[in-house]
């Protein structure tokens, strides 16, 4: 994708209607993101019905703006209230709230916003430059290569995004099993339909995702109680020269590592954010400065830049290979497929106009959030203190509407509610959700590639160096994940 195509994308985004939708998406995503526990996945799940009435380019622009807005919102409530809107905002709470108690909430918010902007913009440039080249490579993939890629993606996500390799792989297998419900179009065999006509159509991804992340989160919050806090008054946003220097260096390091780690399935924003936070903490101990836990700006700038860079790099494998790297990308993938846009190499060829508009919207959304969010920080803090007894029912209704909109089916509302109960039960049992979701998404793709490979001949697998490379990578990812979890038991289940 050249500069001319990107400029055409900007011309699409700067149309008044699309630009207004971008602003709305940023504001709506931020509003949901500041609410305790409702991260980017939940924000997209709740607001998915809004995009269902738009065209393909506008819908993805809105969902991407919601995604970014939710990430910005999570750090705002973390800094002002010590209530992270999502898992990846926890470092902002650990380092930003001590600054708030010292009367420096404004500079902490400015550092978080600036670092997020740097990570988002550079990450967007990476998507624009790297995506077409990876798509060109993917055009040469056959069934064997796709089989290897999917197996690697599943093992990486199952190993890296859960606290147990065995549990992760088991939940991925469970997701694939649920995805197989319905009518097998190849053999016309019914699979686990129990004679139900609705189940013969299979289960749609949209109500499943809305239930697992939207409904389940409401149930968890109602059970555990929403955290509360008192926001400090925000006065002045200009950091000191030393704070700018230290946070800018951390943001630069976080952007580079976050982007490239985010290309690997399973390396979700929450995972890479904590890796960066640990790295910056060790670096600070060697070099001195404000101790971590007492308002170290490196612990704000580095993780926030990492968070956004990782979020952006997830679009590279989605647009180029058709492989989502996590639940959020899976929802965006579902939105693309609703409009008949198949994620994969064709997004940079036959659907290049849509892709260019989406990439251009990333640039615009980052600027919108930088301009709007700092002045509105006090407003977002007040929204985060709205009683959950009011918010909960509203969110449940939005989830029901989103589930129905997918196929205009009341059955999907039932599926959404059942998925919500399932997600709540999985959390109670400490079972990872992300591998289950990715198993559900990638299961049908795995089955198709496997059938095609068997038709060609299983011996063809040994003749494909790309397949063998992916299998070796899958084994390595499992071994590394196992060793990582042995050293750090209780790894956070990063679902964002």
Q: Which two tokens stand for residue 245?
A: 């220097």
Question: Is the dihedral angle over the CA atoms 416, 419, 421, 427 positive or is it negative?
Answer: negative
What per-residue confidence (pLDDT) applies to 136?
84
What per-residue confidence (pLDDT) applies to 491?
46
The whole-angstrom separation of Cα 152 and Cα 163 is 18
What per-residue confidence (pLDDT) applies to 1?
66
Q: Which two tokens stand for residue 178?
A: 């649920």
The whole-angstrom separation of Cα 405 and Cα 382 is 31
The string of pLDDT tens digits covering residues 432-464 is 888 898 889 888 888 888 988 988 888 888 888
Structurally, how many domains does the chain consist of? 1
Domain range enclosing 416: 3-487
Q: Is residue 14 part of a domain?
A: yes
User: pLDDT confidence of 424, banded at 50, 70, 90?
Assistant: very high
- Is a pLDDT exceeding 60 seen at residue 494? no
3 state SS of 344: coil
The string of pLDDT tens digits covering residues 388-420 is 777 788 888 878 887 887 778 899 999 999 999
Instruction: Output the CA angle 177-178-181, nearest 5 degrees.
Output: 95
Residues contacting 247, CB < 8 A, separation 6+: 111, 114, 115, 239, 297, 298, 300, 301, 302
Report the range of poorest mean pLDDT among 16-30, 265-279, 282-296, 417-431.
282-296
Q: Concatenated DSSP letters for 385-418?
A: TS-HHHHHHHHHHHHHHHHHHHHT-HHHHHHHHH
Q: Is residue 495 part of a domain?
A: no
User: pLDDT confidence of 219, banded at 50, 70, 90?
Assistant: confident
pTM above 0.85, yes or no: no
- Is a pLDDT exceeding 80 seen at residue 163? no
Report the range of poorest mean pLDDT among 4-18, 76-90, 100-114.
76-90
Burial class (CB in 10 A: 0-12, 13-18, 19+), 437: buried
The string of pLDDT tens digits covering residues 144-157 is 988 998 898 888 88
Report the range of poorest mean pLDDT among 44-58, 293-307, 331-345, 361-375.
44-58
Tokens 């065995």 locate to 166
What per-residue confidence (pLDDT) applies to 485?
63
Neighbours of 200 (CB within 10 A): 14
DSSP E strands in 51-194: the ranges are 182-183, 190-191
Q: Is residue 433 part of a domain?
A: yes
What per-residue confidence (pLDDT) applies to 393?
85
Q: Is residue 44 part of a domain?
A: yes
What per-residue confidence (pLDDT) applies to 258?
92
Q: Is residue 218 part of a domain?
A: yes
User: pLDDT confidence of 233, banded at 50, 70, 90?
Assistant: low
What per-residue confidence (pLDDT) applies to 425?
93
Q: Which two tokens stand for residue 157?
A: 């996500």
- End-to-end CA, the chain: 29
Q: Is residue 492 part of a domain?
A: no
Q: Is residue 124 part of a domain?
A: yes
Q: Is residue 220 part of a domain?
A: yes
What per-residue confidence (pLDDT) applies to 492?
47
Query: Region 31-38: what's the mean pLDDT?
Result: 74
């Amino acid at each position: 994708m050249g500069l001319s195509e990107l400029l055409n994308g900007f011309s699409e985004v700067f149309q008044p209607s699309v630009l207004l939708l971008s602003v709305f998406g940023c504001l709506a995503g931020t509003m949901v993101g500041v609410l305790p526990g409702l991260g980017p996945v939940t924000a997209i799940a709740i607001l998915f019905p809004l995009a269902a009435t738009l065209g393909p380019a506008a819908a993805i622009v809105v969902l991407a703006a919601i995604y970014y807005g939710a990430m910005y919102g999570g750090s705002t409530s973390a800094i002002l209230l010590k209530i992270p809107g999502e898992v990846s905002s926890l470092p902002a709470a650990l380092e930003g709230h001590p600054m708030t108690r010292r009367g420096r909430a404004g500079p902490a918010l400015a550092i978080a916003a600036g670092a997020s902007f740097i990570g988002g913009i550079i990450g967007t440039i990476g998507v624009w430059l790297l995506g077409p080249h990876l798509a060109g490579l993917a055009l040469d993939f056959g069934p064997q290569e796709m089989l290897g890629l999917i197996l690697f993606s599943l093992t990486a996500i199952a190993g890296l995004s859960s606290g147990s390799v065995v549990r992760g792989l088991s939940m991925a297998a469970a997701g694939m099993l649920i995805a197989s419900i319905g009518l097998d179009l190849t053999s016309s065999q019914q699979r686990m339909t129990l004679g139900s006509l609705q189940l013969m159509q299979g289960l749609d991804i949209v109500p499943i995702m809305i239930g697992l992340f939207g409904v389940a989160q409401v149930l968890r919050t109602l059970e555990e109680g929403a955290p509360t806090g008192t926001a400090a008054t925000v006065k002045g946003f200009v950091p000191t020269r030393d704070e700018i220097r230290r946070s800018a260096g951390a943001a630069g390091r976080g952007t580079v590592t976050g982007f490239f780690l985010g290309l690997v399935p399973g390396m979700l924003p929450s995972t890479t954010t904590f890796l960066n936070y640990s790295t910056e903490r060790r670096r600070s101990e060697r070099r001195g400065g404000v101790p971590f836990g007492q308002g170290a700006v490196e612990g704000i700038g580095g993780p926030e830049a990492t968070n956004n860079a990782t979020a952006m790099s997830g679009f590279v494998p989605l647009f180029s290979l058709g492989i989502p790297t996590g639940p959020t990308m899976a929802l965006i993938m579902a939105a693309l497929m609703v409009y008949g846009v198949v994620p994969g190499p064709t997004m940079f060829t036959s659907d290049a106009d849509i892709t260019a508009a989406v990439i251009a919207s990333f640039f615009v959304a980052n600027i919108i959030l930088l301009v709007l969010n700092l002045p509105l920080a006090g407003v977002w803090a007040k929204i985060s203190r709205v009683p959950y007894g009011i918010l909960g029912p509203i969110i449940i209704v939005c989830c029901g509407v989103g589930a129905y909109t997918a196929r205009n089916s009341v059955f999907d509302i039932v599926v959404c509610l059942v998925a919500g109960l399932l997600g709540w039960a999985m959390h109670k049992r400490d079972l990872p959700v992300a591998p289950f979701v990715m198993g559900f998404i990638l299961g049908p793709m795995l089955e198709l590639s496997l059938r095609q490979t068997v038709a060609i001949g299983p011996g063809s697998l040994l003749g494909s160096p790309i397949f063998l490379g992916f299998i070796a990578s899958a084994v390595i990812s499992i071994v590394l994940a196992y060793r990582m979890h042995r050293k750090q038991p209780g790894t956070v289940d990063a679902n964002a």
